[in-house]
Structure 1
Amino acid sequence: MSVVVAVKPSARKRNAKVGRLVAAEGTRHAFGSRAAAERWAESLSTGDGHVWIAAAHPADDDDVDCYLVSRATNAKLEAAYDKRRRRLRGGEGGKQQSLGGAE
């Protein structure tokens, strides 16, 4: 039994190894089993952005069994969230000021 995995854009954006793999070998890869595909995804995740195998929806028109996916995030937005969270917890001064500098 062959399991065909297509690489989603989110995985390419989040993981540099996946991006290089797609550039060299394309977006579709065949494996002997889903377990083999999951081991492949795990090996791609080491030291880089986390990627995993997700089953294709039964109504999906694409001729694949699974997708290699990730959560494409904006690191700048995540950092902004962390900064706000620290401020609300009282870290880094904890004092919030208006944009005009007046209190």
Structure 2
Amino acid sequence: MTLEGSLETTADGSRDAVMFVFTVTNAGEAAIELDFADACKAEFLVVDDGTEVWRFSEGRAFAQMLSSDRLDPGESTTYEAEWTDPESGEYTAVAKLRARERTCEATTTVAVSD
């Protein structure tokens, strides 16, 4: 069972906020169940030369509830996050699926200007 991930950002060159859209696609030939232990289905990180500068889950509480997403072959789902008031610079953004017993990750570069 193969999951493929892609990560897009919409910084639009401003320091107001950066939106992250993490798309997870079932690239296999059988349906996949993604099981989650809480309401945080994906983690988003922003890294500057190996140093973490922002983490979506930092300082947040998530409802402890079991849930699942089913992906049929070729089907995709998206998870989103917002980084508010980022510092200007060029960063590496990383998105990681938080499903139990499934892994999927994607990275991209994001530039924030004054």
TM-score where L is the length of structure 2: 0.24
Instruction: Give the greater-gyration-radius structure (CA).
Output: 1
**Higher RCO, Cα 8 Å, sep 6+:** 2
Task: Return the structure number with greater helix share.
Answer: 1
